[in-house]
Amino acid sequence: MKPITVSTTVAKPREEVFEYLDLLANHEQYLGHMYLHWTFTGPAHGVGAKARARVSAPGSREFAEFVVLESERPQRIVEETISSNGKRRTRGTYRLDPLPHGGTQVTLELAWVEVPRSERIFPPLSRRFLARALGKGMRRLRKQLEAQH
């Protein structure tokens, strides 16, 4: 499937946005509409940080596992998510670009590494659903960051 790209602008310096995103536990605040009951292991931030959360869907017992693969201060973070009992693997890349007025452009590209057979049948539906959910996550991220003093 083709990758999904969503973005937002945040009225905060790139280094501050990077610090927030690099702490994996902060994902719970802006992705809480997609995942519940988060647990964290490994280092709190940077390469090797890990999280596990239940997919937020009616009747779902599915869990997703997140791991930070790359952390290039202050411009890039790459995470892998494994779900659907290991049948779905995605790679999320956050890119942080400074804006002329001092804010930061945050872009998240989600690419599928492995896709369950059942999802290969309806890629446009899966992509549309995730694009909407991730877009909401970016709006929540902006709101969370801009509310911090």
Give the pLDDT score at 121: 62
pTM of whole model > 0.75?
yes
d(CA 129, CA 99): 29
Digit-coded pLDDT (tens) for 90-108: 999 999 999 998 999 999 9
Domains along the chain? 4-147 (3.30.530.20)
Look at residues 113, 82, 110 and name the one whose alpha carbon lies nearest to residue 7: 110
On the question of pLDDT at 54 being above 80, the answer is yes
Digit-coded pLDDT (tens) for 57-86: 777 788 999 999 999 999 999 999 999 888
Give the pLDDT score at 73: 97
In angstroms, the Cα distances linking 41 to 27, 77, 117, 134 are 14, 18, 30, 24
On the question of pLDDT at 40 being above 80, the answer is yes
Digit-coded pLDDT (tens) for 92-148: 999 999 999 899 999 999 998 988 776 666 666 677 888 999 999 999 999 999 998
d(CA 2, CA 94): 17
- Output DSSP code: residue 85: T
Give the pLDDT score at 25: 96
On the question of pLDDT at 44 being above 80, the answer is yes
